[in-house]
Structure 1
Amino acid sequence: MDPEFQRHDAQSAKAMLTELVDVYATVYDTPPYIGDPFFSVDSFRSRLEAAFDTEGFETVTARLDGRIAGYVHGATLPHDKPWWTSLGNRRPAPLQELAHSGDIFWLRELMVLPAQQNRGLGRQIHDTVISGRQESVTALTCIADNQPAHDAYLRWGYTVLGQIKHAQESPVYDAMYLTSH
């Protein structure tokens, strides 16, 4: 059965909050995330609820037999987002200009349930969200030692800008970007 993709604005994503958080709880129920407060379900719920109010917020879900098998959420990247500005001059001037003009999509999370991983669904979700965005560049952060995700993003054409931390207690992430159009 082919997945059904659906776009959701903040309002309709809020109505699915429990479902979205449940996917996160399943995906991150594995070492090294178990027991790490940064990756707790409550912490994620708080980050997701705060994301609903960001400019350009959108979620794309992939459903199989009516149930979410994976999803992505993101928004327009604020030009003054701390992880973004922490990269300093590692951001090429054209990217800095695009961020100032609201032309970078920040892919905040991409998750696929473990039972559906390694079947191309993550790439389909990724491509679905990007194809419907008006921004010309996509930026994301990927845990530097999450080799499967890191390798996938590189295969999909992303370029590493440098390493960042989202918070004192967070792991090291690679900040990456992809020219979408």
Structure 2
Amino acid sequence: MRSVTLRRRDAEETRAVLDDAVRVHGEVHAEPPFRGVDYYSDERFRDRLAIAVRQPGFGLLAAEDDGETAGYLYGFALASYTRWWSPLKDLLPAETTAETGARTVFIQEIMVRKRWRGRGIARTLHDEFLSTRGEERGLMCVEPGNEPARSAYLRWGWTPVATTTFAAAGPAFDCLLKPLRRVRV
């Protein structure tokens, strides 16, 4: 089994591969349980990625195999002024939802094309991305019924803290946190 090559991209470089990222996302999300859900449409994904590249600390990591994209992971730091936690402010303690701009990295998407699944690529993307981050914790979301992804994230040390939706008619997501480094007191 050949290993993949990992390629980091900043915001500008990600804009140059936007169409490929949308294509990969569309392929991955053409399968159940995502197929036909508006939240996972190419247009909605393109909008989310276009917003993400403008966020502080944005980074994208691509897994490539012999010139083909096997998968992507991207994320960014939550700014001190983020509204990300707004729907959960009344459900979680203030110490969970407080952001400093350097506290939390949000992994917005991990996607691996079907042909490359089962080779540890998602884990490789995950570990490599987080290994270079300076934030004290990670945040990611997963649909409760999205197996085997949800089980993998729990095995990788993520802990569910709440469930929320990002769009009125959108799916529910479990919000997961993972400590990345010790906080100096």
Unaligned runs of 5+ in 2: none
2:145 counterpart residue number: 145
2:178 counterpart residue number: 178
1:46 counterpart residue number: 47
2:13 counterpart residue number: 12
Separation in 1 of the partners of 2:82 and 2:173?
A: 15
Say if 2:170 is the partner of 1:167. no
| TM-aligned CA distance change 1:69 to 1:148, over 3 Å | same
TM-score (normalised: structure 1): 0.92
Deviations 1:13-42 (A, max 9, x none): 100111111110110011232222111111
Structure 1 residue 84: deviation in Å? 2.0
Structure 1 residue 76: deviation in Å? 0.5
Separation in 2 of the partners of 1:43 and 1:96?
A: 26
Deviations 1:85-140 (A, max 9, x none): 3222654554434x234320000000000111122110000001001111121001
Percent identity over the alignment is 31
1:28 counterpart residue number: 29
Structure 1 residue 149: deviation in Å? 0.9
Cα root mean square deviation, aligned: 1.6
CA contact (8 A) 1:83 1:166 kept: no
Greater than 3 Å deviation, 4+ residue runs? 78-83, 89-97
* Aligned positions, number: 180
Higher helix fraction (1 or 2) = 1
Secondary structure at the counterpart of residue 74 of structure 1:
strand
CA contact (8 A) 1:87 1:161 kept: no
Secondary structure at the counterpart of residue 138 of structure 1:
strand
Say if 2:98 is the partner of 1:124. no
Separation in 2 of the partners of 1:54 and 1:125?
A: 20
| TM-aligned CA distance change 1:21 to 1:92, over 3 Å | same
